[in-house]
A = this chain, B = another copy of it.
Amino acid sequence: MKPAKRLDKRPSRTLLDASLHHEALKALPEGERRGRPDLVHFFLLLGLDSALNKKGGLTLLVHTRNDELIRIAPQTRIMRNYNRFVGLAEQVFREKHVPAKEPLITLESGWSLERVVKEALPQGVHVAALKEGPSHVAPGDWVPARAKASRELAVVIGGFPKGDFRSDVAGFTREVVSFGAEALTVWTIEMELIAHWEAATGVFG
């Protein structure tokens, strides 16, 4: 599909998409880690559609490399079509509150990942960061154990296609956990966390 329509817009208003803006991304710092709104799209769909979310047990936050914090209300219905989702995301970056009246999605600047962990999460919540590593645990073991120990759990997942967190996540989370030696996709990790948390806390039935 031709990107003609989207390139008519001012570049600063265009959401970078690696499948359309390959050359532009190559010229940007860390371009190989950027331009993947599809990762956020599926992350939100899988989370918002889950039984855990429908029962009020899930909060989804998105932190950007420019230290923006995007909050998505649990009752938000994200469009399933990718091109429409890109339009929504561009609107969020432009207007900061969508819809303008009683917003479901909000964007605020000035949030480092450390500040998100320290100030945007409930007091006392157990915060873990996930990354690949040689020493790992099965999600079907780790999640139920955490559910037994803590009423609430926050997990930081990297939403970039390559490399490590830019922030020192070990410095401001309680533990860094690994589910495997190789990187898993955002939705693979999210699937494991949600399904096992639901089973451990009795969300179904």
* B-binding residues in A (CB < 8 A): 1-2, 4-6, 17-19, 36, 38-39, 42, 45-46, 49-51, 79-84, 136-141, 179-180, 184-185, 187-188, 191-192, 194-196, 198-200, 202-205
Contact = CB atoms under 8 A, between A and B. Distances in A.
A29 B46 CA distance: 30
Contact of A180 (B5, B51, B80): B51
A180 to B, nearest CB: 7
A83 B51 contact: no
B191 A17 contact: no
Contacts of A138: 198-199, 202-205
A180 B196 contact: no
Contacts of A80: 19, 36, 38-39
B42 A45 contact: yes
A18 B1 CA distance: 16
